[in-house]
A and B are shown apart, each in its own frame.
Chain A
Amino acid sequence: MQTDATIITAKELTKTFGDFTAVDAISFEVGKGEIFGFLGANGAGKTTAMRMLCGLILPTSGKATVAGFDVFRQSESIKQNIGYMSQKFSLYEDLTVKENMRLFGGIYGMSTKAIREKTTLILDELNLQKEQNTLVRSLPLGWKQKLAFSVAIFHNPPIVFLDEPTGGVDPVTRREFWEMIYRSAHNGTTIFVTTHYMDEAEYCNRVCIMVDGKIEALDTPSALRQQFSTDSMEGVFLQLARKATRSGD
């Protein structure tokens, strides 16, 4: 789905916390409709990098634009154009499936009619019609994650940021989850996803591997495999990650 138009650019983007450099001058570009994977061990700086792009953290230095807006000065405009799914579960457990959708639709300023239509659409897609008035708390984890993704793209944002969306989910559900990601990428949504599952890296159009806050490799999965002469992303990752001096967070 990769097109020429770039939708995210980062140039020498850096974030330091005190004398700790979490993200060290990373530069990359993401094309419109691309599935862009951010790989790295725990503490490599993936989440920090993503949060800077979402306007959740102010970068220390460098430059970055998301959907054409500057992360330093226009974070409010960025927020209008993105969906975000955090590492922790991002829905309200004590609200029902429908209420969660209505809430996030409302927060993103959708009309009541649009919210209603989209709700029906998603309930159909997820096969959750029967559970629409169930509290999210009582859904199985796999469903929750799929629902959280649907809610993150509820307002049809041009870009969606997913921070380790499949943590703790079984392989079958992960597979289904990625099918959903593919579907929305097919519809033109740009997907920016962090993960530490190597099989998921294979699903991405391009992968960026972070080690100790720096980008060590950035290419399509097949090109990376060739470059490191190994037959899996796992092999690529292990070769790079061995250099890491930082341990998990």
Chain B
Amino acid sequence: MLQQFLAFVKKEMLHILRDTRTLFILFGMPIAQITLFGFALSNEVKNSGVAILDPARDDDSRALIDRIDASKYFDVVSYLHTPQEIDRAFKSGKVKMALIFPQRFSNDLHHTNKATVQMIADASDPNVATTITQYASVIINDYQKELSPAQIPYRIKSEVRMLYNPQLKSAFNFVPGVMAMVLLLVCTMMTSISIVREKENGTMEVLLASPLPPILVIIAKAVPYLLLSMVNVATILLLSVYVLELPIAGSLALLVGESILFTITALSLGLLISTITNSQQIAMMISLVGMFLPTLMLSGFMFPIENMPIPLQVMSNIVPAKWFYLIVKDVMIKGLGISAIWKETLILVGMTLFLLTIALKKFKIRLS
């Protein structure tokens, strides 16, 4: 039995190794995705152009402008002289935000304790506009605090701390998402294709006519992809720790354990897909459209689930990647233990058992 099994696993390994193009994609994909999401597709808005209209030109306004310019989020690109120029500055496309100081900025600040700075942001991209006005507000608040350390009594100081991700790095969001995506792609798509390929080539018939128990065929098909997925998980974690400088806050063992669980979920999905089609192309289409898109859209990794219409929110619950994404975020970023994620884990286990049962029931141990 064991020997039969090993002979079959070896064959599966050879299939994967012989197909160099696919192998290249399998190993290259996590690296490419981490690099893309980590560096190119960033939520952070850096070096936004700022136009300044500063009729005051006093110490305080200059000090503030210097701080804005010194921050990595802003570059002061132009100094305006009249309010009419503001519109033109935005239309030139180089400016994302304009800062307008009043005539007597310092005077207002020190004598009336009340000064206003107007921020005008280009909201054609609302997310960017929100983000940069927040950045600017933080800089202005900091300056104000320095000016009046505990002078005014009864002032409520709001102190914002960005928990778990103090630098607001976007990689914190992407790494768990990429992990879910890569595992799903490798396991679901590759497993379904590899089983369907045997049906298409007619070798499945020969296997079914052999004394090899069908369950062994399935397990033997899953093993190499499980190993491959672990290599991918390791790659992603190494890249995120050493390249993106995103530490693993929680237990590594727990993280790996949960990854194995999700891999098995994905494998069961792949198996299920392979039972409903006989063509490699269809298996690939189902994996891509049926699994990959929902994962991308509904796992919460690209778009926050809370903001979705209720039907979509409900639908997101049946997407396994959503739960895995929550688990990875909790373990990797918040450093939480099993006590915090047992519910999500249980849901994944339940989904896996459900998928596996249907798949094994549908897997034909005979032809037609």
Which residues of A come within 8 Å of B, CB atoms? 17, 51, 54-58, 76, 79-80, 82, 84-95, 99, 102-109, 135, 161
Q: Which residues of A contact B15 (CB under 8 A)?
A: 92, 94-95
In the bound complex, do residue A94 and residue B14 qualify as a contact, i.e. CB atoms below 8 Å apart? yes
Which 6 pairs of residues, A with B, have the shortest CB-CB distance?
A106-B7, A88-B202, A84-B209, A90-B206, A86-B205, A79-B211
Cβ of A75 to closest chain B Cβ, rounded Å: 8
Among residues of A, the one whose C-beta sits closest to the C-beta of B200 is A88
A126 to B223, CA, bound (A): 34
Q: Say whether B158 faces chain A, with CB atoms less than 8 Å apart.
A: no
Q: Which residues of A contact B6 (CB under 8 A)?
A: 106
In the bound complex, do residue A82 and residue B366 qualify as a contact, i.e. CB atoms below 8 Å apart? no
In the bound complex, do residue A107 and residue B8 qualify as a contact, i.e. CB atoms below 8 Å apart? yes
A17 partner, pick from B4, B208, B368, beta carbons under 8 A: B368
In the bound complex, do residue A92 and residue B11 qualify as a contact, i.e. CB atoms below 8 Å apart? yes
Q: Say whether B47 faces chain A, with CB atoms less than 8 Å apart.
A: no
Q: Say whether B210 faces chain A, with CB atoms less than 8 Å apart.
A: yes
- Quick one: CB contact mask for B305-325 with A, threshold 8 Å, 1 for yes? 000000000000000000000
Q: Say whether B82 faces chain A, with CB atoms less than 8 Å apart.
A: no
A203 to B295, CA, bound (A): 59
In the bound complex, do residue B203 and residue A92 qualify as a contact, i.e. CB atoms below 8 Å apart? yes
29 A-B interface contacts by CB (under 8 A): A17-B368, A51-B367, A54-B209, A56-B209, A57-B367, A76-B211, A79-B210, A82-B209, A86-B206, A90-B203, A90-B205, A91-B203, A92-B11, A92-B15, A93-B201, A94-B18, A95-B11, A95-B15, A99-B11, A103-B7, A103-B11, A106-B3, A107-B8, A107-B210, A107-B211, A107-B212, A108-B210, A108-B211, A109-B211
Q: Say whether B19 faces chain A, with CB atoms less than 8 Å apart.
A: yes
Which residues of B come within 8 Å of A, CB atoms? 3-4, 6-8, 10-11, 14-15, 18-19, 201-203, 205-212, 366-368
Among residues of A, the one whose C-beta sits closest to the C-beta of B368 is A57
A92 to B10, CA, bound (A): 13
Q: Which residues of B contact A88 (CB under 8 A)?
A: 201-203, 205
B201 partner, pick from A57, A89, A99, A108, beta carbons under 8 A: A89
A58 to B364, CA, bound (A): 12
In the bound complex, do residue B202 and residue A107 qualify as a contact, i.e. CB atoms below 8 Å apart? no
A107 partner, pick from B4, B205, B366, B367, beta carbons under 8 A: B4
Among residues of A, the one whose C-beta sits closest to the C-beta of B205 is A86
Say whether, besides A94-B14, A94-B15, A102-B7, A56 and B210 are in contact (CB < 8 Å): no
Among residues of B, the one whose C-beta sits closest to the C-beta of A58 is B366
A5 to B367, CA, bound (A): 30
Q: Which residues of A contact B4 (CB under 8 A)?
A: 106-109
Q: Which residues of A contact B212 (CB under 8 A)?
A: 107
Residue among B8, B15, B19, B212 with the most chain A CB within 10 A? B212
Cβ of A234 to closest chain B Cβ, rounded Å: 29
In the bound complex, do residue A90 and residue B202 qualify as a contact, i.e. CB atoms below 8 Å apart? yes
Q: Which residues of A contact B18 (CB under 8 A)?
A: 94-95, 135
Q: Which residues of A contact B205 (CB under 8 A)?
A: 56, 84, 86, 88, 90
Say whether, besides A84-B209, A90-B206, A103 and B8 are in contact (CB < 8 Å): yes
Residue among B14, B205, B209, B210 with the most chain A CB within 10 A? B209
